[in-house]
Structure 1
Amino acid sequence: MLKYTKPLTNNLRLISSLMIASLMASPLALAMETDDPLVTQLTVDKFEKRHSTNDKSAQPFAWEAEAWLGYDINKLVFKTEGERASGKTESAELQGLIRSAIAPYWNIQMGMRHDFNPEPSQNWAVIGLQGMAPYFIETDLNLFITNGKQTNLRLSAEYEAMITQQLVLSPSAEINLYGKNDEVRGIGSGISSMEFGVRLAYEIRREFAPYIGINWEQTFGKTADYARHEGESTNDIQLVAGVRFWF
């Protein structure tokens, strides 16, 4: 596992201490004056089985979830996402973040990300923006940095269109860019991968909705070259079925 150099570690510890102090102290004082209770929530956006149209034997399972606790202004957030196929975890990550509101629809977030897969595992520092872009597009823009001087810029966006009071159509997209090649993990510099999906959910309850949809994945540049070298496809169209829920 990669380890941070001492200067970066010290800076991250200082930032974490300041953010945690802000999370715990300021809202507590505010709560005494303005009724700002501690609130928690778990949201599982994706919990789905995928059927690849390129490889009939491949039926990966994918997940994406977020849990948070905090107040109106500051929150402690945990995020995870990943994918398993053929009994093997192909990708899995966990993020721990401090999220603070800076505008009515926008938050700044800072923290750490740990990649369990693909191996070897590695750690990243995280800084980013999360919020609601114009036209009610949920947006997540993050910059990840390792002590190995690798960088990863990730942009995710999702929109929910209410077709009826219970039917919800949700197009989503994600794009990843990297600062340099990483042959060990099969990652190339520049635009590395893009994912686009459309899911149709039926809200049995507001908190619980099974869905079906289609998902498209594409790799580019050196990342695609690494995939070809391993005998893997550079693009895939998948039929998906799953459930999303929150409480």
Structure 2
Amino acid sequence: MRHVLGALALTAWPAMAQMDHGDMQMQGGKPPADARDPHAYSGGVSLDEGPYALPGPRQLKLADEHLFYGVLAERLERVDNGDDQALAYEVSAWAGRDYDRTVVKAEGDIEHGRLAEASTELLWSHALTAFWNSELGVRYDTGHGPDQGWLAAGVSGLAPYWVELDATAYLGDDGQTALALEAEYELLLTQRLVLQPAIELTAFGQDDAERGQGRGLSELVAGARLRYEFSRQFAPYVGWEWSAALGKTADLARDEGESTQDTRWVAGVRFWF
């Protein structure tokens, strides 16, 4: 069979070699007079104005013209430190477009049916790069000592190796300043089982005995939560968390007869929509 095909190919080759390629219709040539310029949209021409505006009501909207929103309950958990139990929450919500969004962050502890400590932030978030946002706004704290208001400025984003980072500086009442650093990482043990270690460090610019704030490094919180994602939007978890007061803040806690370290077991649910 191969010999027959080879003979046919040799027989056809002289005829193919003698074909006049000038008679062949090749792809290309001049476009029609009414063809659209494929580069016109980069010259400031839009779908609403210019030579290519579509007639009638507009049907197409681009992604950066839509208003998006999201709600994430990062922590909604029951806490047990061996001596007492409490409820803790950390929830964030945002609404906006690609570059600018309004963000609300809230976290706190509920003990014996009442709000023991709470922190709420209202921020304007602006995209700096594909993975980093700047955040400007206000924060309000209640709980330990008198209530306190802050101005907030920081950055948040995704660092190399998929580490999520938040760094925020605060200016509060009576010239008090603070700095909060947070880092967390999601380790996929399987496609549904996720281990999430996290660490948080807080520092203050001056002493405030009334609120239990000491100058310098103030508090370190570290822990890990293991969750099972029944879906990407709903995942129960269990975990462990350790916190310690540092420096002058630890001295103020000792003066009040309070512990400077705390170990807590947690169980809760994480969800978003």
TM-score by length of 2: 0.75
Q: How far apart in 1 are the matches of 2:104 and 2:270? A: 17
After superposition, where does 1:56-67 map in structure 2 within 5 Å?
Answer: 56-67=82-93
Q: Which protein shows a greater Rg? A: 2
**Unaligned stretches of 5+ in structure 1?**
1-28
1:26-175 alignment, distance < 5 Å: 34-36=62-64, 37-52=66-81, 56-175=82-201
SS in 1 for 2:248: helix
**Between Structure 1 and Structure 2, which shows a larger proportion of strand residues?**
1
Report the 3-state secondary structure (helix = DSSP H, G, I; strand = E; otherwise coil) of the residue aligned with 1:95. Answer: strand
- Cα displacement (A) at 1:88: 4.4
Tell me the secondary structure at the aligned position of residue 85 of structure 2. coil
Count of equivalent residues:
214
Tell me the amino acid that sits aligned with residue 40 of structure 1.
Answer: Y
Alpha-carbon shift at residue 33 of structure 1 (Å): 7.2
* Unpaired segments ≥5 residues, structure 2: 1-47, 49-59
> Which position in structure 1 is the counterpart of 2:215?
189
- Give the C-alpha shift of residue 91 in structure 1: 1.7
Equivalent in the alignment of 1:176: 202
Task: Report SS of the residue matched to 1:184.
Answer: helix
Q: Give the conservation status (yes or no) of the 8 Å contact 2:170–2:177.
A: yes
Per-residue Cα deviation, 1:133-160 (whole angstroms, up to 9, x for no partner): 1111111100010141100100011100
Question: Which has the higher relative contact order, 1 or 2, with Cα contacts under 8 A spaced 6 or more apart?
Answer: 1
Match of 1:238 in 2: 264
> % of aligned pairs identical?
41
One-letter amino acid of the structure 2 residue matched with residue 65 of structure 1: V
| Matched residue, 1:220 | 246
Structure 2 counterparts to residues 195-210 of structure 1, below 5 A? 195-210=221-236
Report SS of the residue matched to 2:213.
coil
Following the alignment from structure 1 to structure 2, what is the Cα–Cα distance between the partners of residues 230 and 87?
A: 24
Contact kept? 1:58, 1:86, Cα under 8 Å: no
Tell me how far 1:116 sits from its aligned partner: 2.0
Q: TM-score, normalised by structure 1?
A: 0.83
Secondary structure of the corresponding residue to residue 188 of structure 1: coil
Most deviating of 83-92 and 58-67: 83-92
Superposed CA deviations along residues 150-208 of structure 1, whole A, max 9, x for unmatched, are 00100011100111111000000100000001100111010000100100000011100
How far does the alpha carbon of each residue in 1:81-103 deviate from its partner, in whole angstroms, 9 at most, with x for none? 11123444332011000000011
Is the CA contact 1:92–1:118 (under 8 Å) kept in the aligned structure 2?
A: no
Q: How far apart are 1:228 and its partner, in Å? A: 1.5
Q: How far apart are residue 110 of structure 1 and its match? A: 0.2
Provide the C-alpha distance between the structure 1 equivalents of 2:85 and 2:233, rounded to a whole number of angstroms: 27
Aligned-residue Cα RMSD (Å) equals: 1.5
